Amino acid sequence: MFFRARRALQRARFNFQCRALLDTPPLHADTGVPRVALVSMICHGEVIMYLLAVKTFCRKLGRNPSIVLLDDGSLTKDDYAAIAHHLPEATIVHISKIAKADCPTGSCWERLLLISDLVQDSYVIQIDSDTLTLNSIPEINDCISSNRSFTLMGDRSFPEIESMTSASARSKGNTNHMVQAVCERSFDQLPESVSLNYVRGNAGFAGFASGSFDRQRVEFFSNLMRRIAKEKWDEWGSEQVTSSLLIANTKGAYALSFPKYLSYWAHPDVDYTQASFIHFIGPHRYDNGFYLKSAKKMIALLKG
């Protein structure tokens, strides 16, 4: 209870101190080929964060993709109005409109299903609201132009796409009870693991090559992992495992290099000021004031 109240207060303070973002110019989607869609699931209270994430990303990408938002059910009329002003061509889909599939519900699964529909004729980039793009990101444009999937890596993850059997052997000593760790150390229980790959990615920032998968593929990996995770597969984190599996088993997929692309864990031995893209994950989002300081710097550039 205390943790949630503290997080809510920190978010409110961040939004207040970043309100100048609302004075930055609207972002108009480009037209042309290849088609690129930028997808995010957002909630009330994170609209300023989301607009900041999208505007800084597009500024460094050098293009403005079509934008599709998944409303988690909490957006208000004022939220819709703010989004319409800043992202005039954006499409907002209510979470209740996502057709069900043979996989868990909630915990970002509807977002992955939405991506599975859009990726049939678009390159799709998933970007979380709590991200900032601070410096050049040519690797992302390279992936788009060559239609290669990519993923942000997990903290201190093995920095390559590897076989599931190798990933399983690497994870045997991880006794964590979270669903991702349970699956990783148990991959070798599956006969299919000898022909599949894995990457310990972070679903907060990922690119999906056009035509790379469909809903049936999502269901395949979900049912595969449920065989080893059992009832834990319905817990938070299972969607991230599936996203990583989808990317790792796509031809030519790319693991973004650390520390140019990373999540903010406030490690004292990491120079976050040199990063190009940072995912400010929940537990450490506001640590040391680095998120706010970086946000204010980017807002000033957006206004200019």
Task: Sort strands 131-133 and 123-127 into parallel, antiparallel or unpaired.
Answer: unpaired
Structure tokens at 238: 């299972």
pTM: 0.96
The residues of the chain scoring below 70 in pLDDT are 1, 32-34
**Radius of gyration of the chain measured on its C-alpha atoms:** 19
- pLDDT at 174 (0 to 100): 93
Q: What is the DSSP secondary-structure string of 198-248?
A: E--EEEEEEEE-TTS--HHHHHHHHHHHHHHHGGGGGSTTHHHHHHHHHHH
**Rama region for 207: left / alpha / beta (φ>0; ψ in -120 to 50; rest):** beta
- pLDDT at 70 (0 to 100): 98
Closest CA to 278 of 113, 127, 147: 127
- pLDDT at 33 (0 to 100): 57
Q: What is the DSSP secondary-structure string of the chain?
A: -HHHHHHHHHHHHHHHHTGGGGGSPP-PPP--SS-EEEEEEE-TT-HHHHHHHHHHHHHHHTS--EEEEEE-S---HHHHHHHHHHSTT-EEEEGGGSPP-SS--STTHHHHHHHHHHTTTSEEEEE-SSEEE-S--HHHHHHHHTT--EEEEPTT--SS-EEHHHHHHHHTT----SHHHHHHHHGGGSGGGGG-EE--EEEEEEEE-TTS--HHHHHHHHHHHHHHHGGGGGSTTHHHHHHHHHHHTSTT-EEPPTTTEEE----TT--GGG-SEEE--GGGTTGGGHHHHHHHHHHHHHH-
> How many distinct structural domains can be found in the chain?
1
* pLDDT tens column, 231-285: 999 999 999 999 999 999 999 999 999 999 999 999 999 999 999 999 999 889 9
**What is the C-alpha to C-alpha distance for residues 253 and 150, in angstroms, rounded to an integer?**
6
- pLDDT at 32 (0 to 100): 66
**What is the C-alpha to C-alpha distance for residues 265 and 204, in angstroms, rounded to an integer?**
14
Structure tokens at 231: 């009832």
Task: Please return the burial class of 216, using the count of CB atoms within 10 Å of its CB with bins 0-12, 13-18 and 19+.
Answer: exposed
Residue 166's domain is classified under what CATH number? 3.90.550.10
- pLDDT at 78 (0 to 100): 98
Task: Please return the burial class of 92, using the count of CB atoms within 10 Å of its CB with bins 0-12, 13-18 and 19+.
Answer: middle
Domain interval for residue 126 = 2-303
- pLDDT at 6 (0 to 100): 85
